[in-house]
Amino acid sequence: MTGAATGAGLFISFEGIDGAGKSTHTAALAAAFEGAGRSVLCTREPGGTPLAEKLRTLALHEDMDGITETLLMFAARREHVRCTIAPALAAGRVVLCERFTDSTFAYQGGGRGVDWTLLEQLERAAMTNLGQDGVFVAETAPLVPMLTLWFDLPPALAAPRMRGGGDRFERAGAAFFDAVRAAYARRMTSAGGRIVRIDSCAPKAQVQAAMLAAVRAQGWLP
Ligand code: TYD
């Protein structure tokens, strides 16, 4: 299963540092798809299934080393894909997912300094053979979204917009978020056009217009 081979469904992810406005933009895109007659599933990571939500609570609130954190993120993600995302795509729905693997490269790779090559290896292990129950069948490309909207803005502008839930990541300082942002940019260079950067310093209406333009460019909305 790859981003291009998910039947009639559409798989779109939303990325950016905390406070970049992903939830608001996800809701706006959901409304646009529903207006066009599509069935939409909005979901988020880490989470999206009962087990993945438990892993989320651990990852966001317990202190742990960066690799343990990475493993929890991929464990939650595999569960999320198998139980929630893949069935929705198979049913032809539009899946709008706040955060996916790019967040792991950005936060654990950029923010926490986990080795990039190790992340690529873990992505290959966790995001392939998704229809198999733990059986490794064949080396395939990891599942990635069909389109990723990266809402980019400097940490200094995002900080005041944070909802202030106070998880471990939201308490990280500006240097952490600078590194996260740089890692998104690095990930984008090897994404072959899948990741579209949306300048999110602009007013909300302008950001959402850019988001809709990126989706229309794929031919997915009138
Ligand atoms: P959340 O409150 O959902 O933040 P946001 O609204 O900004 O998405 O918390 C998710 C946090 O988990 C966020 O700070 C980023 C972090 N995270 C990772 O570090 N790695 C990951 O792979 C994912 C999916 C999230």
CB 82 within 8 A of CB 74: no
Q: How far apart are CA 83 and CA 55, in angstroms?
A: 15
- Give the global pTM: 0.95
According to the model, what pLDDT value does residue 8 have? 84
**Res 4 pLDDT > 50:** no
Give the distance (Å) from ligand 1 centre to CA of residue 40. 22
With the most atoms of ligand 1 within 8 angstroms of its CB, the residue from 68, 96, 99 to mutate is 99
List all residues whose CB is within 6 A of at least one atom of ligand 1: 18, 22, 44-46, 60, 73, 98-99, 103-104, 107-108, 165, 167, 169-170
**Res 2 pLDDT > 70:** no
Q: How far apart are CA 9 and CA 123, in angstroms?
A: 22
Q: Which two tokens stand for residue 141?
A: 């490309």
Spacing of C-alpha 129 from chain mean position: 20
The conformation of residue 222, written as its DSSP 8-state character, comes to: -
User: For the residues 137-151, what does the mean pLDDT come to?
Assistant: 95
According to the model, what pLDDT value does residue 164 have? 61
Residues 6 or more apart whose CB falls under 8 angstroms from that of 147 comprise 10, 11, 12, 13, 194, 196, 214, 215, 218
Which residue would you say has higher pLDDT here, 195 or 5? 195
Question: Residue 189 is inside which H or E element, if any?
Answer: helix 174-189
What is each CA distance from 100 to 19, 85, 156, 161, 222, in whole angstroms? 16, 11, 24, 21, 26
High-pLDDT (> 70) share of the chain, %:
95
User: For the residues 124-136, what does the mean pLDDT come to?
Assistant: 91
